[in-house]
Structures are given as structure tokens and as C-alpha cells.
Amino acid sequence: MIHSNAFRRLKHKTQVFVFHEGDHYRTRLTHTLEVAQIARALARQLGLDEDLTETLALAHDLGHPPFGHAGERALDECLRAHGGFDHNAQSLRVVMLLERRYPQFDGLNLTWESLEGIVKHNGPLIDRNGEPVGRYREHGVPVGISEYVAYHDLELWSYASLEAQVAAVADDIAYDAHDIDDGLRAGLFTVDDLGAIPLIADINAVITARYPVLDETRRGAELVRELISYLIEDVFSETRRRLGAANPGSATDVRNHNATLVAFSAEAETTEAMIKRFLKTHMYRHERVMRVMRDAEAVVRDLFARYQAEPGDLPAEWLPHEGEDGEAGRARRIGDFIAGMTDRYAIIEHRRLFDSTPDLR
């Protein structure tokens, strides 16, 4: 996984802030490494397969396009007539098709458990009657996934392994804690603002009592560290409780269970939802961030439209072959190319093809 081109490109893909906004903000790569560390720690505590857990944590964002969720929204819009764009489906395409490192086959030759976890780490995609569930209700299961499971069943109706569930909850923990860290660093909010969340107010009170004179940078770092510890310990305790109640005797029992077994407690889940609402209001929808993301979406849309109109502008290895897959196949090829771009490459490519490129600042 870590030797793949797709993994290395995460270094220059946006988490929240575009790469040139600062050297210390998270990128997809640093976020992925933090998820892997948290996931491996939880797997060790729970006695799970650490290698599988780490593989899933390292793979979970391989399909993200440039500019984070803004890039994903733009690509989904561009590809809507051909099944849309979904980063989990794109991760599957990366590890099965787009990585070309071996003489015998395309992809990374991952196990069934790894592929299942990449696709299902957030839970089932369909019910037992084959109907899409959750966020897939509106547009259905992404094309890249449905095409693959037609010949290699990933049991989309079931939950994934405990290792995949650990990777998913580790992603939540890393997102919450480290977006708080980046938001504080960017000056989008303060530690006092975070006090609106009761748990964080309690943590801050303990920090203040322990270290009465502490600068804001160290206070923020200590807050993030304590929050991560709290959430990891909560997940461990709640998961042990759920496993004790469900008493699964095998991985099949885990997959057939009627709910996820690796989870936050009800109290921590409430806190985690409050953190996400706070970050949505104070960070993700902050005008400074929104302005850059609007421009980033425009860059992706411009590139897609240009490549559709002028396929000759694509690199030679990405040129559509005569008669290959029709319009849908050509659109998917363009989507694959753009999804693999880093923020930096997308901006450079836009400047090559257009007279004016947004500054993204």
C-alpha cells in the first residue's frame, strides 16, 4: 500500500486547507497516517488483526480527488450522467485497476477482506433485498462497486469485519481531533469557543487546573491529545461491551450482526456529533474555506469539460482508445485521471489549458 503511487500522491491532496496555505496543516497523507496509528492502537487493544486494520486505514482515502470534498462534489456532478463519483468506489478502482506495478496483473493483489473493508467500512450499502441504504438511497450503489461485485461478491448487505469497523471509527476520531487542531492553528476559532461542547469544556478545565499558565498553542495541543485519548478509551470500552453482549463466534457472525460492533458509547456519540456540528459551522463553512473550495470546484469542472471537448489535451497514456467503452467509458477515464491528480498538479494543468486560474487563497 505505502509503495503505491496513489498513496504518495496523498501528500499533496487537501484535507481542509489547500497545500500552499501552510506547511503544518493536515493533508490526506498526514490524516491517513494518523488514522492508521489510532486504528492500530485500537486493534491491538481489542486483539484484532493489526495488519488488516492498518491496511484498511492506509487505503481508506486513496480514491479522494484533489481539493478534498469540494473536488469530490465537482467530479460527482461531472459524472452524474454516468453513475457519479464516490471516493470509496474510486479507492476500489485504484487498488484493483489503476495501480499498475506488477507484470502479471493490474492493482495491488489485495485480499477479499481488504477489498470488503475498503468498500464497506462505513456499513452495508444495500439491505438483504438488494435495495440501497443510507447515503446510497438517492443514486444507488456506485457504478465502480456494482460492476466489481457482479463477478466478485463483497456481500454489500452485511457489515464489514471488526478491523474495517475499527478503521472507520479511527477515521472519525482523527477527523474530529485534528480538524480542531488545524482550525485553532488557522485562527478560525479559539479554545474558549470550543467550550460550548461540554466534554471539551471539562477537558479544558482539567488542563487549566493542571497548567495554570499555558500559552494557547500548547493548550490546544494538550486539548487534542486528551480528546483523542478519551475517544479511544471510550471506543474500546463500548466495543468490549457490545462484543460481550453479541458474543460473535466468528467473522461471519460479526458480518451478520444487525449493527456495528465497534462504536462510540451513546454519550461519546453525542459529543462527537456536537464536535462535527461545531466544525461544520466554524470551519467547513467558514467563508475563508468556502471561498477557496468554490474556486477549487470550478478548477475540477473546467478540467473535466476541457478533456471531454478536447481529448487530445490528455496525456498520451490517458487518451481514449478508438471505440473503447463509448461515452461512459471515456467520461470514466477522464474521471480517473482527474481523481488521481494532486491539488498542485490540478492547478498546474488548469494554468496550462486556460488563460486564468483561481488563486485558491
214-238 confidence digits (pLDDT tens): 899 999 999 999 999 999 999 999 9
Q: Cell triple for residue 180?
A: 480542531
Half-sphere exposure for 271 (CA within 13 Å, toward CB): 23
Stretch 183-195: mean pLDDT:
92
Give the SS3 label for residue 355: coil
- Output the pTM of the full model: 0.94
Domain membership flag for residue 146:
no
Confirm whether 192 is domain-assigned: yes
Per-residue pLDDT reduced to its tens digit, 61-117 = 999 999 988 999 999 999 999 999 999 999 999 999 999 989 999 999 999 999 999
Q: Is a pLDDT exceeding 60 seen at residue 257?
A: yes
* Structural domain containing residue 179: 162-286
The pLDDT mean for the chain works out to: 93
Cα-atom radius of gyration of the chain, to the nearest Å?
21
Contact 271, 178 (CB under 8 A): no
Q: Three cell numbers at 251?
A: 467473522
Residue 7 has pLDDT above 90, yes or no: yes
pLDDT at residue 250 greater than cutoff 90: yes
Residue 178 half-sphere exposure, CB side, CA atoms within 13 Å? 22
Q: DSSP secondary structure string, 10-64?
A: GGGSBSSS-GGG-TTS-BHHHHHHHHHHHHHHHHHHHT--HHHHHHHHHHTTTT-
**Helices of type H across 150-215:** 162-186, 191-194, 198-210
Give the C-alpha separation, 137 to 49, whole Å.
Answer: 32
pLDDT of residue 196 exceeding 60 = yes
Assign 324 a pLDDT band (cuts: 50, 70, 90): low
Q: So what's the pLDDT on residue 26?
A: 82
What pLDDT does 357 receive?
A: 80
* pLDDT score, position 22: 57
Residue 24 has pLDDT above 80, yes or no: no
329 lies in a domain? Answer: no
What is the average pLDDT across 192-211? 95
Residue 322 confidence (pLDDT): 66
Question: Residue 169: what pLDDT?
Answer: 98
In a domain, 250, yes or no: yes
Residue 207: the pLDDT is 95
**Total Cβ atoms within 10 A of residue 211:** 12
Which phi-psi region, left, alpha or beta, contains residue 219 (left: φ > 0; alpha: ψ -120 to 50)? alpha
For position 21, what pLDDT does the model report? Answer: 57
| 73 falls within a domain | no
The pLDDT assigned to 323 comes to: 63
Q: Which helix (H) or strand (E) holds 307?
A: helix 287-309
Is there a contact between 264 and 169 (Cβ–Cβ < 8 Å)? yes
Q: Do 118 and 125 touch, CB atoms closer than 8 A?
A: no
Cell triple for 203: 477537558
Task: Tell me which residue of 344, 308, 354, 343 sits closest to 327, measured CA to CA.
Answer: 308
Predicted confidence (pLDDT) at residue 360 exceeds the cutoff of 90: no
Q: Provide the pLDDT for residue 17.
A: 62
Q: Note the pLDDT tens digit of each residue in 149-167.
A: 999 999 999 999 999 999 9
In a domain, 242, yes or no: yes
Statement: residue 289 has pLDDT above 90: no
| pLDDT at position 235 | 98
pLDDT of residue 321: 72
Residues 312-323: pLDDT tens digits?
A: 999 988 887 766
Counting the structural domains of the chain, the total is 1
